[in-house]
Every structure is written in C-alpha cells, then in structure tokens.
Structure 1
C-alpha cells in the first residue's frame, strides 16, 4: 500500500461520545471560552515550530479511494462459528481426536471443516494415504474449497509415491478451476516436470507467490531476464533482497522499461523505504500529480533540498489545483532558506487550499516569530484559535501554551489551557495527555474531586491510551504501577477463533478461518489488486493476512495506519472497525506466547510486560536488526548477549532464534529491574537508553514524581519508548484480562462496545 512518510504522526482517532459518563462541561474552567493569547507571552509558541504542519500535511500520502464498506462480509454463507473453528488454532496433535469425532458425525459445515483440517494435518505429516479418505468426495459437500480439495488430494497421492495419480488430479484441478487463483498451486506442482505449466502459471497469475518462486528459481539459472525481474518488482515486495532486483532494473535495463514499469519500480522502492532511489525512479514514470510529488518528497527525505524545491515547483506548475499542490506549498515553505521566503508559499496555501489553512497559518506565525515580529505572530496564532478552533494546528498552539505555563509554574493557567484543548480538540493526539495532566494538576491545586473526574474522563474517552493506564493507577485500580507492575501475574484469555477478514473471496475468508494462513495469504496476493489505493476493508484484510504469515511488522503497520484515514467516509469506516474487539486483538497479537510465558516465569517478570516490550522493540520480527546491530525479538545487542550468556553459562545461542533471544532479553530486563529496586519505569528506560543514561537523569532530575520525570527525559526516543511499552502493556491487559476488561467497560462506552460485541 502507499505508506505514510517517515515524519508522519499518528492522528488521534475519532471516537464515540461517552453518554452517561462524567461530562467535562460540569467541571471545565468557567473562563475557558475567554482564554486568548494576549498577555501570555510568546515563549511557549516557539516550542515545536511547525510540528502541526508536518504531520497534518502528511495525511495526503494515503490517497485511498472511498467506499469498500463491510457489506460483503455479512453475505458470506460460511460466516458461522463451529466447533472445528475453535480447534483451528491448536497444533495438530492437540486437535486430532476432537476433529475425528466431528468428521464422523452427520453432514454439516462443521463436518466439512473437520475433514479438511484432518487431511491437511496428515498431508503435512507426509501421511497422504491416511488423508485421502477424509478428502474423498469432499468437494461436492464443500464447494467453496473444491479447488483446494483437489490440490490437496494431488499432494496426498504424491506423498504416497503415486506420481501418476497426483499429476492426473492436479490436471483435473486446472481443467475445472483454471480461471481461479487456486489453480496456481496445481500449475506449480505440474511445472516441476513440465516447464510449460510454470510458463502458464506466471502468465496467468503473476502476483501469486508461486509465480514469484518460479521467477526466482529461473533468475538463479539465468540472471539476465528483465521480464522476470519486473514480475518481482511488481509482486515481490516482501522478498528480503528485492532492493538488488530493483537496482539492476534501473541500471542494466533502463532502455527496455516503460513509464508503467518505472512507476512499479518506484513504488517498490517507496515500500522498502529507499526514498532517494524512489525519487529518481518516479521522474521516469508517467508525470501524474502523485508521481511528481513523490519525486520531490523522496529527494527531500534524501536530504537534497535544492532538487526537492525544483520538483515541488514542477508539481505546482503541472497540477496547480490538485491536493498534491497544496502539500507542495507547505513543503516549499519548510524548505525555504529564510522565513521571509516561506511566507508567500504559505499565503498561497491559505488562499487556494482551505483544508490546509490552519496548518499554513500556524507555520506563518512561526515564520514571523523567527523574523522577530511577535505582534504579527500573536495575531495569526489568535486567528487559528478563533477561526480554526477545532484544527490540529490550534491544538498544537494550546499545548504549547500548556508547556509554557508549566515551565513558569502557573498550574492554574496550564490546567485551563489543557481543558480548552480537550474541549475543542478531543480527537487530537495530545487530548488524552492533556486530560491526564489536568487530573495531576487538580490534585496539586487541592481539587481532588476534579482530579478524579479527569482520570475517569480519560478512561472513558481514551481507553486505549497510555494515559488511561496512568489514570487507572491514580484511581486505585489493580493494574500495576511503575513500582509493582513487574510482579503482576494477570489472567489472560485469548480468543478461540480468528477475526473475520472484510475483503476477498469466500474461499479466502474460509481459509483464513481455518487457520490455513499461508494458503489464504497466497490467494490474497492475487486478489489484492488495489495496493496503491486500498479501501479500509482491503487494508484491514491485508494486515490480517500479513499477521497470519508472521509478517508482523508490516501487519501491525497496516492495521495501525488505518488511523491515518482522514476523509469523512473513510473515518466512519475506521470508527466502525475500531468498535470491534477483533481489530484491537489483531493490533495486539500474541506471537511466541509460550516462550514469553516460560522465560517470564523463570525471571519472575510479568509476561504482559515482556510481551509489551517485544511489541515495541521488534513488532515480533525474530530476524530484525537495528542500524547499530541490535537483533531479534527483544533487540539484544551482540555484546550484551555475550555478557548475559556468560552470566547464565549459555555456551551456544542464536539471537535470531526466538527462544534464545527471549531467554537473553528477559535476563537483561530482570537485571535492569534489579538495578532499580524493581521499578519498571527505570528498568524499561534503562533497557532502551542504557543504565548510564538513566543514572545520569536520576541525578539531574527529581524522580519522586514518575510522570514528571518521564517528561524530563532528554532523549525523545526513550521518552516515547517508555510510554509506548506501558501503553502496550495496558492494551494487552484491557483486551485479554477479563477482570480489567469488565471494570473498564463500566467506565467507558468505547471499551464497553468491544466487550459486548464478544461472542
């Protein structure tokens, strides 16, 4: 899909009103509506510069088509839960007996599912003869998977050594279902003995992973085949070495490429985050508004400012009324060599692109501050607050005022500005933070009832946030505080069935339900033709497909980045989706749960804290490496691993092995806890920044108030890391711990809708 740019912030999600929960209007400051910038000084306005301009403008990078909806899921005739589905996620040895009992019962959907699962398990155990009886005649009873049943039957014959019958069965599958992507599997097997079938496979289903596999094999035999390299460029983005394929196409076969080819290569570069290469490649593609913009933006991200400026100007000249032109004006202002040069671009954006007016006005005010014209800047800031009060730019201004008054120890004014932000900008990313600090400041101002209401409000309206966890701790909930969370051993109840996908064929949906994740993902590669501009339903489905094959980094990204949808009709679809617990449980998955549980227990660590840290460190990617060499699930540095291994007498290990990595990582997390008297704030911060830095900060800052200490951490990465880990922890708890989930449901309609929707 068309990924957001690396500077893009996560927009806050729209949310339902909290009917029946504490009303903020009951306790907002009476003077809220009268607040202005006059007399408050401009020091705070300097903070953050044009931050709002950066993240608001980036929303253009997801120009999704509207529509898609979720109607098709409700028309699926197989969208019924059965006992076999509850067994689909279990290992074969744990489900065989129950599946056999179902498979021997009366004809039903459950019986069909059980027979198919039993056959698949047996084939994968190389017991084809035992699988055949379960497949016999199944295609007539289970037509939605008929083509897969034939393919599996061929595999069963092959496992028995009956090659002739296997070929005949696969040929029958191609003859009967040759126009369906599942035929790709039979074509692949047939092609092992007759290369013409592989030719047919790549011609008919180039996006199928089997075609990618064949192309790779043929390129190993003869690397100078640009047609096969183009197939990989279009359909093999998930390959670890796809970058080298793209490089060869650009350098060795440029004369043979069409504008459409160049666009496909550029898109692939963008997907793997090689923005400089993408920028140059987009210049060879068809000069659409988006392609020209990306040629400019890629150059900017590659730190080639002069080239980026020229290319943004080309966007303005060729497509002066397109959305990309408005964004180009914002970019040109940011790239201007002096503040005075930025102002004409901003004025043009304000005049021609109303949707960017607030963003451009704030950037213009920042420019006048740099020009030492505080009165003009103040006037423009006030214009943002009065004419665009609900904008993200206004929220940024309000939060800057909050920070200024905190620095001057004027908590009453900070409190008032924070609640103006919550009232006027409830969907901004700062809103939960502002609401929480209102509670903290109300306590310091000796207004305990207002503090309680503030914490309850954060829980009600922002139940997924880090600040909901902090609010729960101040309300006395048994969810673990920084000093106690290590020792918690929470009950965890995971769902028995997989979340439903919202796009794709009936066959794909059924494969996904059955836990046939590789087959479902392969089919999705063919069916998902709208990769650049997916609907909400398609993007959600793609996220689930990726998670199914342990492409967890991109899978979680696909789900989380639905929050970037800002078109009204798409926002409504995202809101609808986020009111389903399936969405949240997919966003917070449980890979490697057994290893995490084992080593957490051995180190006497809260397993949900370990899960939360791994999600933040690696998104559950076992082979991921950072630029400094940190490796694996818990991002352990090789030198740290050597030291830890010497402490536990571990002579052999592999940091890319999940079990080894969790063993070493949990030992080190236990070590950081011991260094700080089991305080998880300092332990987690130390895990990210190192014990030396944390010790230095503890010497510089007052750490009696942990929330204030976090805000003073001078490393933005570590500050965000600490909050992210504990937000992860809170979400795992609220989604999978029944007691907390029910307690939160009594405070939050948003969370209550998740609980009530569970089967």
Structure 2
C-alpha cells in the first residue's frame, strides 16, 4: 500500500554530515549573529523573566487560538505596571487583531510599545504599519514604513518596509535586494522582476543562493549554466553545485563542483556526483582527490570508494592499505573490508588474522562491534545462546556509541533469559534503557521488564496520557529578537528574520542547524525541520559530538525531533477507531514527517500516505462521498480506518498490522506461512523486506519516544534509570 516516500540524502561533505560521504541514503527523517550562544547553554542560561525565555502568563497562551486567549491578553495588556509580560501581551494581542482585520484596535494596543519593548521595537513599527493598512489608513501606512526604514535600516524588518514602499518606487526594491538578499521579500522581488526580464544573472544568482526549495529552482540552475557559463566565477559555480546537490541532481552537481574553488570537499563531490549518477569519470576524480588533497578526510573517503569500485581484490587491497596507513579513524572498517577481499583470494589464514587484529587492537570501534554482532547472530541461529551472548555482550560495554549497541544489548538480554538467568537479563535490559533510552530496543527492553508501555499484542488498546509542554523552550541560537519572536509564537516573522541571520547554509554550525530545524517546524516545513534536527547526530568532529551530547539533555531537542502537529485530528480519529493515538502519531511521523501535501512516486498521498485506490475502497466502506487526500482530517480518517483494518486482519497484533500497512497483507501473510519462530522479536528481525523491517522498528521507536517524552508515568520511570533523558521533560 504505502511504498518508499521521498528520499533525502545528507547534503554536506566536510561539515560533519557524513552520511552522504559514505553513500548512505536516509529516509525522510532532511543558522549567525553576534549574540550566538554555544549549544547546550540556551535553555538554562537566562532568567525566566528575561527576553527570549518562556514566561508565566503569555507563553502558555501561544498554543491557544486568538479567541481563546483574547481575554487573558487584554487583562494582562491593561496592567498599569510596565513589564515583559505586559509588553508581550500587547504585542501578541495586536498581532491577533491585525489577523482578524481589526486594525484600529491593534493600533491602540501598539501605541508607544516600541519604547517599552525595545527588543522588538522594529517589529512594533512593522505591526503598526500592518495595522494602519488593515484599517485602510494609507498615508499613515506609508509614513510608518518610511519611519521603519529610517530608524532601523539594518533590521530585517526594514526589508518588509522596502518591499511595500517599492511597489510605488522601484529604488526601495533595489535597496532591499542590496541590503537583504536572503530575505523572502527580496527573493519575491527577484522573482517578480525575472518575470519581466528573465535574463538577469544577478537576480538569478540571488534565487540560487537564497531560494533552494522554491518551485522551478533546478530550472533556474539549468538556465544559468546554459546561458551564462562564461560569466560565472568559481564561487558562483559552488553555489550552483550546492543547489544541484540539494535537489539530488548529482551529475550536474559534479559538473559544477569541478568548476568551483578546488577544496577537498568540492573535489570529492565532483567525483561522488559522477559516481552517484552512474556517469563515467568518477574513479579518475577520486584519484585526483587523493593526489591533490592527500591528507584530507575526503582523500580517505575517496580511497574507500576506489576500493569498493575495484574489480580485482589485489587492487582493492592496495587502496585499503593506504587507508589503513594514513587514515587511522577509517582503519578498522578498512581492515574488515580487507579481510573480505582476502577471502576472495582464498587467503583465509590472513583474513582471520586481519579480523583478529580488529577485535584486539580496535575493540572499541564500530567495525569490531559489527564483527562481533555477525558472529553472535551466527551462534544464536545455531541455537548456541551461551556463545552468542559471549560474542555480543562486549558490544554494550565497549561500543556504547555503536548503532548496533542497543540491538546487541537487547538480544543479550533475550538470550540470557533463554539460559534461565532472569535476574541477569533484567539488569541487561535496564542497561539498554540507561544507555540507549531513545531506541526501539529500549521499548522492547521496557516491555520485557513489565513497564506499562504495551507489547505487540497490547499496544493498540492503550490510551496513554499525554502532557504537552505548557511553554516553548528557549532557542539555543539566534539574536534576542529571533528568540523573542519565537517565544511569542510569531513563527512566520521569526522564520523571515532567521533568513537574514542564517549565514552558514553550506556549512552550518551545530547551533545554527538546530535553530534552522526549529524555525522550519514553526512554519510547517516539518519534513525538512525534522531532517535538520535528526541529522545533528551525524556530526563526527569531537567538539560537535560533545555539543550533541549536551543538546540531547535538553527537552528542546526532543520536542523538535518528535513534534505533535495535527494532534486534535489524530486524537479524534484514533478514538473513533479505538487505536492508540501515539501509535498513529508514530506511524504518521514515519510515513510523511507530518507533511500533509507530500506525494510518493507511486501516488501515496498525505500524512498517512494513502494510495488513491485504497482511499476509494475505504470511502465506500464508510459511506464517505467526498474527500481530499491532502486534507489532514480526511487523510487521517482514511488512514486510521485502514490501520484498524490491518489490526483486525492480524488479531490486533500491532507489529503485523504496521508491517502490513507498509508491505501489504499479501506479503505479511506469506512471511507468516513460512515463519520458523513464534517469537515476535525474532520474526521482526527475519522480515525479508529491509524497508519493512526498518519501517516496523522506526514506527515503534517513534511510539516509544512519544511515550517516554510526553507520558508522565513513563517519563518519570525512564528518568530514574537513564541520564540521557532530558531532566526538564
């Protein structure tokens, strides 16, 4: 029913986002200013009443509708003593009134506010101009826009003023483009002018640099490279290459990177782009990277690529030996690959020696963990659980940061149970929860320990309590203006402001990337927002890894990674179908990352990625005459009906129901008929479709994270055993 959705590839090489460099395709899961703060300090560094931090009265109102919060805002705004709460209430009340078309009342709420509320003084003038416009007072509107440009010429709010003033005087549009090229209004100006004269290179390059996700973007790139190539400078080619890369046009990206400034990263991408697109010349370019930048991390990657592309084992081993000798961080993985090449040459003795070297000299590496895990699985398959445990147990102790540590730890617990050592098994499950509290295997461990988290056969019927945070956490990066707009829930204005502050698009800092993700979530760009936040874990520099560990201690990180869009619709239709609403939320997060308009290559549409034919079938069953698959309410209604249907097919086993939702009932029925185990955990590991196996683990991993973050009982329980759990959740 629901096949693979839009695929995102990590886009930066040499910035710590290493998944692309190693060729890993990531399922949908896809930032500067003087006041920039180090990541990990934001939410704890400011007093509660300071600008940019949550407040006690106004902040809890952000999630409410304008009508719901109007009375409280009015009462707070009318207080006689000037305070941050009063200023916030006046500003937010005025914003609501403008949106409701009540310009005169908004003007009154804003009167003199710029003096009392200096952090948003420019924004106050912006709102006043908007209020005058809504009230139909054109002369006052123009005068206020002019005042804003005069008093705050360098504030991003001035770009809005320049845009509106430029409608009657083009010189203002020229100023906007010159001073604020990254502002969405400047992009809009460029697009309007290009409609009249499409051959303006400067405006085309503005689109290239600042509108990567705009409609027709790759067409702009093509136009520039076809018509203006002789006029382009190396930096222009770099921007064009990055644009192609962002949009996964790798062959043209490679062409552009070859003409960009020849850094190690750009040279590597020129090679990798040809490789990914299947075009010739990739191997030669990999060799050029090694020759031109022999000591760079990209040279190590290039040698690894060359080894993988080599047709002869001897040549592959020669490349791998260079990696082992010159790039110690890649040596363990290169040694494992070398052992495989030796096997091809029937040199089993030397292959064994190489593997032993990995297990002894590189015992704490991912390569050693993966080798141990492979041996453990072989022994478990043969029924030797004692030896399987012996091989796998060191992974949890020696390789806690390995991607397979949680999986290995959980199965050590299961095998220990099979050996009749229940107390020891419980200690192992608790260790998995302590060290890998956000993993799918933490949920499986909690279930084995008897926590009230549900199992595959019971999770459907649970209805966990959910406590959403009453206030927003403080941003970890950005100016005081940006932080204050975010605290007021002025997400569109915050996003616009952020476009000027975010200077590191090609190589963002950790704090910038996280802030960009949060800003995207605020304006409903959930797919890219979650992508930006989730890929912080891929950073590989020591200082970045430390920053990531610090960030994981903050609830802001987890709330961004597991947001709650469409909660009302999810709860409503989950209740109608007697489904656990957190399970539905978890499935939607995996299916669409909460993008209501997304459509797969095979036609699956919307939040729950419902196929049109399936939707028609469901609609006929529930007597629904009209529906739109990209409407969130309709999509969740149809999707939850189908999820209930798959549950009923498999006697309310949620694992089989979720697998069926992804692969179809025919496939799951076939797997069941051939299954050689009654153990549900073993069945999951034996699912023959890698996509479905990963899908099942991801959905239930999502479910577990929503549960541990937002359910008071489980959050309290996990905080007692795991230092990773955010203390302010």
TM-score (norm 1): 0.90
With over 3 angstroms needed to count, the CA separation of the structure-2 counterparts of 1:5 and 1:217, relative to structure 1, is closer
Among candidates 739, 742, 747, match of residue 713 of structure 2: 739
Structure 2 contact 53–483 (Cα < 8 Å) conserved: no
Q: Which moved more, 1:651-660 or 1:68-77?
A: 68-77
Structure 1, residues 472-508: CA drift from partner, whole Å, max 9, x if none? 1111111111111111111101012122212111101
Seen in structure 2, the aligned counterparts of structure 1 residues 3 and 135 have a Cα distance that, compared at 3 Å, is farther
SS state at 1:749 partner: coil
- Tell me, yes or no, if the aligned pair for 2:162 and 2:173 is still in contact at 8 Å: yes
Aligned residue for 1:281? 256
| Equivalent residue, structure 1, for 2:276 | 301
Displacement, 1:195?
2.1
Question: 8 Å contact 2:39–2:550 — kept in the other structure?
Answer: no
Q: 2:598 aligns with which of 616, 619, 624?
A: 624
2:362 matches 1:356: no
Equivalent runs, 1:358-507 vs 2, <5 Å = 358-507=332-481
**1:78 equivalenced with 2:78 (yes/no):** no
Deviation at 1:70, TM superposition (A): 4.9
In 1, the alpha carbon distance for the partners of 2:173 and 2:24 equals 47
- Quote the Cα distance in structure 2 between the aligned partners of 1:594 and 1:247: 43
| CA-to-aligned-CA distance 1:703-724 (integer Å, 9 cap, x gap) | 5211000111000000000000
Change (3 A) 1:630 1:727: same
Q: Tell me how far 1:6 sits from its aligned partner.
A: 11
State the alpha-carbon separation in 2 of the partners of residues 701 and 470 from structure 1.
21
CA contact (8 A) 1:212 1:232 kept: yes
Distance apart, 1:691 and its partner CA: 0.4
The gaps in structure 2 that reach 5 residues or longer are 1-7
Aligned to 1:36: none
Q: Provide closer, same or farther for how the CA distance between residues 618 and 72 of structure 1 changes in structure 2, counting only shifts above 3 A.
A: closer
1:71 Cα shift? 5.2
Per the alignment, residue 676 of structure 2 pairs with: 702
Contact 1:70/1:502 (<8 A) preserved = yes
Aligned to 1:163: 138
RMSD: 2.4
Does the 8 Å CA contact 2:465/2:711 hold for their aligned counterparts? yes
Question: Structure 2 matches for 1:1-12, cutoff 5 A?
Answer: 4=10
Instruction: Please give the secondary structure, in 2, of the residue aligned with 1:375.
Output: helix
Matches of 1:663 and 1:80, distance apart in 2: 37
Q: Which residue of 1 aligns with 2:214?
A: 239
Question: Which residue of 153, 163, 170 corresponds with 1:178?
Answer: 153
1:268 aligns with 2:232: no
**Post-superposition CA distance 1:333-374 (Å, at most 9, x none):** 111122221111111111112222112111111211222221
Give per-residue Cα distances to partners, 1:248-306, cap 9 Å, x unaligned.
222232222221111101111112222222112211212211111001111111123x4
Note the C-alpha offset of 1:580.
1.1
Q: Aligned to 2:188, which of 205, 213, 216?
A: 213
Q: What is the number of residues matched between the two proteins?
A: 709
Post-superposition Cα deviations, 1:34-65, rounded to whole Å, max 9, x if no partner, equal xxxxxxxxxxxxxxxxx99947999xxx9x9x
- Partners in 2 of 1:126 and 1:703 — Cα distance? 65
Partners of 1:53 and 1:330 within 8 A in 2: no
Task: Write the distance in 1 (CA, Å) between the matches of 2:647 and 2:480.
Answer: 50
- Which ranges in structure 1 are unaligned for 5 or more consecutive residues? 13-50
Structure 2 Cα separation of the partners of residues 80 and 212 of structure 1:
31
Aligned residue among 84, 94, 99 for 1:124: 99
Change (3 A) 1:359 1:452: same
- Measure, in 1, the Cα distance between the counterparts of 2:17 and 2:522: 26
Find out whether 1:90 has 2:64 as its counterpart.
yes
Would you say 1:134 and 2:109 are equivalent positions?
yes
Which whole-Å CA distance do the structure 2 matches of 1:271 and 1:57 have between them? Answer: 14
What corresponds to 1:651 in structure 2? 625
1:274 to 1:404, Cα distance in 2 relative to 1, 3 A: same
The Cα shift of 1:218 comes to 2.1
Question: CA 1:562 to 1:659, structure 2 compared with 1: closer, same or farther past 3 Å?
Answer: same
The corresponding residue for 1:553 is 527
Is the 1:56–1:392 contact (alpha carbons within 8 Å) kept by the matching residues of 2?
no
In structure 2, the CA distance between the partners of 1:743 and 1:70, relative to structure 1 (3 Å rule), is closer
- In structure 2, the CA distance between the partners of 1:610 and 1:75, relative to structure 1 (3 Å rule), is closer
Are the aligned partners of 1:672 and 1:686 in contact in 2 as well (CA < 8 Å)?
yes
Q: CA deviation at 1:75?
A: 6.2
Matches within 5 A, 1:567-716: 567-702=541-676, 704-716=678-690
Contact 1:57 1:356 in 2 (8 A): no
Distance in 1 separating the partners of 2:24 and 2:544: 17
Separation in structure 2 between the aligned mates of residue 7 and residue 255 of structure 1, nearest angstrom: 27
CA contact (8 A) 1:112 1:138 kept: yes
Instruction: Find the counterpart in structure 2 of residue 316 from structure 1.
Output: 290
Contact preservation (8 Å) 1:57, 1:327: no
Distance across 1 between alignment mates of 2:202 and 2:461: 58
**Secondary structure in structure 1 of the residue aligned to 2:85:** helix
Q: Deviations over 1:546-605 (max 9, x none)?
A: 111111111111111111112111111111110112211111000111111111111111
Please state how far the C-alpha of 1:466 moved relative to its aligned partner.
0.5
**Aligned pair 1:523/2:501, yes or no?**
no
Q: 2:58 aligns to what SS in structure 1? A: helix
Question: In the alignment, what sits opposite 2:317?
Answer: 343
Aligned to 1:730: 704
SS in 2 for 1:463: coil
Return the alpha-carbon distance in structure 1 between the equivalents of residues 477 and 61 of structure 2.
Answer: 24
Relative contact order, CA 8 A, sep 6+: which one is greater? 2
Separation (CA, whole Å) in 1 of partners of 2:24 and 2:295: 19
Do the aligned residues in 1 keep the contact of 2:12 with 2:506 (CA within 8 Å)?
no
Answer yes or no: is the 8 Å Cα contact 1:53–1:393 preserved in 2. Answer: no
**Distance change in 2, residues 1:6/1:641 (3 Å):** farther
The residue matched to 1:608 in structure 2 has which SS? helix
1:230–1:7: structure 2 CA closer, same or farther, 3 Å change rule?
closer
Matched-pair contact (CA < 8 Å) for 1:350–1:361: yes
Instruction: Using structure 2 for the length normalisation, give the TM-score.
Output: 0.94
Q: Which residue of 2 aligns with 1:250?
A: 225
Query: Quick check: 1:52–1:392 contact (8 Å CA) kept in 2?
Result: no
8 A Cα contact 1:330 1:349, kept in partner: yes
Q: Given the superposition, is the C-alpha separation of residues 72 and 57 from structure 1 closer, same or farther in structure 2, using an over 3 Å criterion? A: same
The 1-side partners of 2:236 and 2:17 are apart by: 33
What is the CA distance between 1:651 and its match in structure 2? Answer: 2.0
Partner SS for 2:724: helix
Distance 2:601 2:677 in 1: 31
Say if 1:355 and 1:436 are closer, same or farther in 2 by CA, change over 3 A: same
**Residue number in structure 1 paired with 2:3:** none
Q: Deviations over 1:639-669 (max 9, x none)?
A: 1112112212222221111111111111111
| Distance in 2 between residues matched to 1:124 and 1:433, nearest whole Å | 51
Cα shift readout 1:352-402 (whole Å, capped 9, x = no counterpart): 122221121111112112222211111111111111111111111111111
- The answer on whether the counterparts of 2:234 and 2:260 sit within 8 Å (CA) in structure 1 is yes
